[in-house]
Structure 1
Amino acid sequence: MGEPDAEARSGQEAVDGLVALLDLERIEEDIFRGVSPKSRWQRVFGGQVAGQALVAAGRTVPDDRRVHSLHSYFVRPGDPTIPIVYEVDRVRDGRSFSTRRVIAVQHGATIFSLSASFQLEQDGVEHQAPMPDVPDPESLPTIDNLYGDSPEAAAFYKAMPRPIDLRYVDEPPWRQHAAGPREGLSRVWMKADGMLPDDPLLHVCVLTYASDMTLLDSVLVRHGLAPGIDDISMASLDHAMWFERPFRADEWLLYSTRSPSASGGRGLATGRFYTPDGVQVCSVVQEGMIRIKRRD
């Protein structure tokens, strides 16, 4: 397999690179191999390994069973210079639910573990939390137009994956930095920056990938911190998602996140995804490591 080079791309080219990134090579019945894009990052992006692990799990489940939840732990930093091997354990196939466990391995050690549950489509009771009242995504500036006033933020965010179009509703961390701490709330419109194939599993895996990009912003803004400006160390520790209703990841979704607590060098963040017409499609919880190495 070649290494997809997604770092300098944008638009459909970047989306095609992400689709290629999530198209794992099957090397045995329940063993898959994935690669990382060429990047300046010293470790694998957490959303990438989570998305690839979910692809591996989904490829061992019948097509009529859709993933409804995942729970995962980031165990060790991933090495972006070598492939990642994903080993799937078919824990159970019941009449309505299938459970899979996946471990991601590099250098003979587990770097990530995931459990995912898949379900036949069924009817039941329905309710959801209301969607926040926010501006339309097309009325908001692109992220490239936002970080232009901060060279430090520009250097940091230009190194991030580029297949996702991000439109901040609230001021992003680097703009909030000068104003100081605020309520732990961060709302971002996001979508794949191009068209995706009509594969429901792929759309879920793309959202899994994107969900790790801004979630910890809600922790940072409560303390007036910004990556690329403050000398902080950040890493995802665990990540859980519940996929509640169908969606397309190449159409706008509002990601509304909050941080209810932080302590012990860790920050907790929760999030909900909504379609533009107010339908809640996914809930997310993550705890991340956030350490301040130096602050003037």
Structure 2
Amino acid sequence: MQTSKDLIALLTLKELGDHSFSGDSYTIGSPHVFGGQVLAQSVHAAYRTIPENRFLHSLHGYFLEAGNLTIPIHYKVEEMRNGGSFSTRRVTAKQQDQTIFILAASFHKKEEGFEHQVNFDTTIKQPEELLSWDDMFVKFGNFLPKPMKEFLSVDRPITFKPVRVPNLLESKNMPPNEQVWFRLKGEKQALDYRTKQEILTYISDYNILNAAFNPNAATHNFGNTQTASLDHSMWFFRDFDFDDWMLFSAESPNAYGARGLAKGNIFTRDGKLIASFAQEGLLRPKK
């Protein structure tokens, strides 16, 4: 999977009838199904039951079991409410009768209202100044630990450029935050808002737990810690395009009891806030 076209094909589900759908999986370097994929495919399934004049404004999902990459995922959509302004859907994702994920999503018709947003950090390094994951693999591949090398070697439809690149040969604690520029690979496409939201949902599960890891990076890493997404929430605000770089900005207010919490915002390059997110993940030191 190398381009946005490939990603859209992955997220487009086969209809089975009676608000049921089926989708396949693609690895991001993990032995299990990527959480962002299940999130985005669930959003796609819900959208297939929503009127054209309503758009996703919030989602809340729980990851219940690790997904098997070799087994299709079946999505069942339940219509919880169709009101004058909002529609609510519940999506259940299953593999061989085992529920692996549940999603609640709310859709809102477009309305006019007042507006404000948080400030955008204009002093942040620009993507042209930074190395991408692909650049790091080429430049440092021979010096990387095997798990990280295998992770970076996977073809992805997104280019990621972290603002702060840790010293891979020296482990040390860092501030509880993570900022990453990202951009879709492949030719520019005219995408509708629904498709852009599905793609952004997929991307939102990347990088997020790094913010919770960073304060303990001197002793813990993804090699000696069991990790998993436990829940994930998003709120969508403004339409946007994938024509330029966008910024994923996360911070972690807490890690305790083998769980870490991260939250943050997604901005366009010119500072427009398009979405916010929050996730709690399992951070269990391996014995």
Under a length normalisation based on structure 1, what TM-score does the superposition of the two structures give?
0.89
Partner of 1:155: 150
Residue 177 of structure 2 contacts residue 252 of structure 2 at CA under 8 Å; is this kept in 1?
yes
Residue 196 of structure 1 contacts residue 203 of structure 1 at CA under 8 Å; is this kept in 2?
no
Runs of 4+ with deviation above 3 angstroms: 38-41
Structure 1 residue 142: deviation in Å?
1.6
Partner of 2:130: 140
Structure 1 residue 144: deviation in Å?
1.8
Say if 1:290 and 1:196 are closer, same or farther in 2 by CA, change over 3 A: farther
For 1:281 and 1:70, the matched residues in 2 are separated by 14
Partner of 2:158: 164
Which residues of structure 2 form unaligned runs of 5+?
Answer: none
Deviations 1:70-105 (A, max 9, x none): 000001001110100000001111111110100001
Matches within 5 A, 1:256-275: 256-275=249-268
In structure 2, give the amino acid aligned to 1:178: E
Say if 1:95 and 1:280 are closer, same or farther in 2 by CA, change over 3 A: same
For 1:59 and 1:23, the matched residues in 2 are separated by 10
In structure 2, give the amino acid aligned to 1:109: Q
For 1:179 and 1:208, the matched residues in 2 are separated by 31
Under a length normalisation based on structure 2, what TM-score does the superposition of the two structures give?
0.92
Residue 101 of structure 1 contacts residue 116 of structure 1 at CA under 8 Å; is this kept in 2?
yes
For 2:9 and 2:180, the matched residues in 1 are separated by 25
1:226 to 205, 221, 229: 221
Structure 1 residue 250: deviation in Å?
4.9
Residue 177 of structure 1 contacts residue 221 of structure 1 at CA under 8 Å; is this kept in 2?
no
In structure 2, give the amino acid aligned to 1:186: E
Q: Equivalent residue of 2:170, what SS?
A: helix
Matches within 5 A, 1:57-206: 57-132=46-121, 133-147=123-137, 148-149=139-140, 150-152=143-145, 153-159=148-154, 162-172=156-166, 175=167, 178-194=170-186, 195-206=188-199
Structure 1 residue 214: deviation in Å?
0.4
Residue 78 of structure 1 contacts residue 106 of structure 1 at CA under 8 Å; is this kept in 2?
yes
For 2:88 and 2:150, the matched residues in 1 are separated by 41
Say if 1:176 and 1:125 are closer, same or farther in 2 by CA, change over 3 A: farther
Deviations 1:153-180 (A, max 9, x none): 2223224x611110111125xx367251
Q: Equivalent residue of 1:178, what SS?
A: coil
Which residues of structure 1 form unaligned runs of 5+?
Answer: 1-5
For 1:189 and 1:87, the matched residues in 2 are separated by 34
2:14 to 25, 28, 32: 25
Partner of 1:52: 41
Matches within 5 A, 1:246-265: 246-265=239-258
Q: Equivalent residue of 1:167, what SS?
A: strand
In structure 2, give the amino acid aligned to 1:200: Y
Identical counterparts, % of pairs:
39
For 1:143 and 1:40, the matched residues in 2 are separated by 13
Q: Equivalent residue of 1:220, what SS?
A: helix
Say if 1:138 and 1:106 are closer, same or farther in 2 by CA, change over 3 A: same
For 1:250 and 1:231, the matched residues in 2 are separated by 38
